[in-house]
Amino acid sequence: MLSFLANPDRFMAFSRWAAPMFGVLAGLLIAVGLWLGFAAPEDYQQGDTVRMMFIHVPASWLALFVYLCLGVASFLSLVFRHALADAAAKAAAPLGAVFTALALITGSLWGKPMWGTWWVWDARLTSVLVLFLFYLGYIALRAAMDDETRGGRAAAILALVGLVNLPIVKFSVDWWNSLHQGASVFRADGPAMTNDYLIPLLLMGLGYMAAFGSLWLVRIRAEVWRRRAMVLALKAAEA
Amino acid sequence: MPDLDTGKYALFVWPAFAVSAIGFAWMIADSLARARRWKAEVERLGGKAGR
């Protein structure tokens, strides 16, 4: 699949129909997820704040997943020097930064009524903040260098270094004492919630994933066009 | 049926949903604007934007 899409023309043909398809799918999944999420009974301990789970948890999943995509694309860009992989990495970073910011902000809004504080410097929250800073660092490093190729390589190395943070985010609640609760969906002994909450949460998770897929493809297409425009402008200047 | 009454937690629940909506709106608007801008630029320079 990756080698098939590595050809820019094939990628543009594929993404032309895949991007809107993922977008429509995202809209449907999120609409049904929100409907079921607000139809679910309020939690006996957390009351109506439990509804924030349907936006906070998917944003957190995407914060990690998008960084994994950024890391893989950066690796392929560094090893194979493939322009499309570099475009994919560049396109993923702002989306990942937004999902991470959403995870932090919605988590803070959930934390205040449940923990009594907006923020605490515990392992989970701090490691997600570090993840956000890696995204910002990646974007800033690319933008800081005049030579796009050098900027892309430097940023790719930073992205690979940041991969170390992903297992720290995931397992921080197991390795250290934390106010943040442990995993409640992807657990060895099954999800720790009833279907009333699990189904809308999974629908929202898939909806966020489809939304990312759609927006990522649109941004990669934009980057391919930007690079074509640069080449055309250079040719026009030489002529 | 969905129950939109979030009671005493409304001050926390609705801002969280509003911020998420703003985040999505920005991602959609910025992504589409970039794609339109660069596709138009390729066509303006006489290249084929292709599919």
Give, in order, the Cα–Cα distances in Å from A213 to each of A159, A185, A191, A219, B30. 20, 22, 26, 10, 15
d(CA A213, CA A230): 26
d(CA A229, CA B42): 5
Model pLDDT for residues B26-36, shown as the tens digit of each residue:
999 999 999 99
pTM: 0.94
* Residue A47 DSSP SS3: strand
Closest CA to B41 of B33, A133, A141, A125: B33
Model pLDDT for residues A10-59, shown as the tens digit of each residue:
999 999 999 999 999 999 999 999 999 999 988 888 888 999 999 999 99
Q: What is the pLDDT of residue B1?
A: 82
CB contact under 8 A, B13 and A52: yes
Q: Is pLDDT of A3 > 80?
A: no
Model pLDDT for residues A124-135, shown as the tens digit of each residue:
999 999 999 999
Model pLDDT for residues A67-87, shown as the tens digit of each residue:
999 999 999 999 998 889 999
Give, in order, the Cα–Cα distances in Å from A44 to each of A50, A76, A108, A186, B27. 10, 48, 21, 22, 35
Which A-chain residues 26-55 have CB contacts (< 8 A) with chain B? 34-35, 37-39, 47-49, 51-52, 55
Closest CA to A19 of A205, A220, A227: A220
* DSSP state, residue B7: G
Task: ipTM value, please give it.
Answer: 0.93
Q: What is the dihedral of CA A17, A20, A21, A24, to 10 degrees?
A: -170
If you average pLDDT over residues B10-24, what whole number do you get?
97
More confident residue, A8 or A125: A125
Q: What is the pLDDT of residue A2?
A: 64
Contacts with B16 from chain A: Cβ below 8 Å: 52, 55-56, 105-106, 109-110
Q: Which of B4, B13, B26 would you mutate first to test chain A, the one with the most A CBs within 10 A? A: B13
If you average pLDDT over residues B17-45, what whole number do you get?
97
**Is the distance from CB of A139 to CB of A101 less than 8 angstroms?**
no
Q: For residue A17, how many other CB atoms are within 10 A of its CB?
A: 11
Average pLDDT over chain B, rounded to an integer: 91
Look at phi and psi of residue A93 and say left if phi exceeds 0, alpha if psi is from -120 to 50, else beta. alpha
